[in-house]
Amino acid sequence: MDQETGLFINGEWRQSARTFTVADKYTLEPIREVSAAGPEDVAAAVGSAHEAASHPLDPAVRQAVLLRAAQLLEDRSEHVVASYVAETGFTIADGRGELNRAVEVLRLCAAEAIRVAGEEIPVSATPGSENRLAFTMRIPVGAVAAIAPFNAPLSTVAHKIGPAIAAGNGVILKPAELTPLSSINLVAAFMDAGLPPGYLHLVPGSGRTTGMALVQDERIRFVTFTGSTTVGRVIKRESNLARTHLELGSNSASIVAADADLDLVTRLTARAGYRKAGQVCTSVQRLLVDRRIVDDLAERMSAAVSTLRAGDPRLNTSDIGPLISAAEAERVHEWIKGSQGENTRIVGGERAGAVLQPTLVVSPGVQSRLLSEEAFGPVVVLTAVDSLEAAVEQINDGPYGLQSGVFTQDVDRAFHAAKRLAVGGVIINDTSSYHADAMPYGGVKASGHGVEGPRYAVHDMTDPRIVVLNLQSIAKGGRSA
């Protein structure tokens, strides 16, 4: 696969005078040089995608390509997972899990490719339109810009390019500069699956140059972006009249009521708060716990977190690997140290370079940034609340609204929280981190707008076109042949 330079336009891999180095996030050794796309490369990719989208592939062809690409990813799992672990620093288990999710997403998209359809509109009920028949057709939006994050370079990318292709569009993918290898492997799978030139392009590079050139191109009709709220605001401002799907930041909280199953809370949070070194937008960053049980849960969580180990992601003894960089690990470490209050207790938190030990902060000081901002690291804060309603208000008062977990055995309390929480998803008796790929997934407020999920994304990546027939009455006895 040495021919795969990273820059893929109109069905061929291209070299560029501009390159950047991808490093192993644990060893820090260089892995590969990747060609960076300049403005002229972006313009060529957008032009090709725009032209391709004006001649959509037949639905059966889209389905076959998506199924074949999914199978090729599965067949190449050893190579794909090895690249993923190296460029992300995530564990082999995380790599395998995300590969399986990417494969499933592409298969779900294949099913949606042959379900793209409009609906009949009952215009005959409108006075004067009694003899009219109206229906919609779903038409591909055109050129789709897909801008992916570093923390899910397989599954999130599949959630962007899979629906775009299933809907009949041309798509231009800009991977995160830190983790482009997984996108290269995905694009190679689509090429080898028989996707014709023009329908998928890969333009690696920085957000400031490559990403901005892509977003500002007026031929782009849809932008799907996952990343920070700060960058999401820029994309919204610069994307002309294109529609946008923005999956942005969060400091997700899970509520623990007095009647919660604390063994369940501990077991699920020990996974959901720390996998991928906490670099997941739905990671449990906050546990808002009924004051009557807070000490009990704090002891259970402290014991669980003490058993977790950070280190070489290729070793079975490591529960998590490094953060994406030493600078990010240092930032999170500083936030942890700055959380000290009168009654604060910290479990874990030791740092060596980019590796930060899983951390629990019990009763952080009120000034702690962990209570209001997105940490994006392996840290969970545990705070006491007086009631479920107080926890709901605390979440709603914050800037984010992606997903929240609610642990309770009381169905009335569960539904009260589900109705009151200003978030995109409420997960009962599980954490904020739960995500099945078929479900609608997205946030509100500073967490963005629009939803992922193949069925929903395919619908969003098409436009309705209304067709109206003015049917004429047939004279009694019928028309002559």
299 is catalytic: no
**CA–CA separation, 325 vs 330, rounded Å?**
9
Neighbours of 57 (CB within 10 A): 22
Tokens of 211: 């990403």
* Residue 239 CB partners (closer than 8 Å, separation 6+): 215, 216, 220, 223
User: Quick one: three-class SS letters along 121-188?
Assistant: ECHHHCCCCCCEEEEEEEEECCEEEEECCCCCCCHHHHHHHHHHHHCCCEEEEECCCCCCHHHHHHHH
For residue 290, give the nearest of 371, 393, 384 by alpha carbon. 384
What string of DSSP letters covers 253-291?
EEEE-TT--HHHHHHHHHHHTTGGGG-STTS--EEEEET
Residue entry with tokens 């002309």: 240
Catalytic residue among 281, 328, 374, 452: 281
Of 247, 328, 374, 452, which one is the catalytic site residue? 247
Tokens (6 digits) for 345: 């207790």
Q: How far apart are CA 369 and CA 324, in angstroms?
A: 20
Q: What type of residue is 137?
A: M
Quote the CA–CA distance of 471 and 258 in Å, as a whole number.
64
Smallest CA-to-CA distance from 461 within 163, 239, 248 is with 163
Task: Let me know if 281 is a catalytic residue.
Answer: yes
Backbone angles phi, psi at 13, to 5 degrees: -80, 135
For 289, half-sphere exposure in the C-beta direction (CA atoms, 13 angstrom radius) is 28
Q: Which residues are catalytic?
A: 247, 281
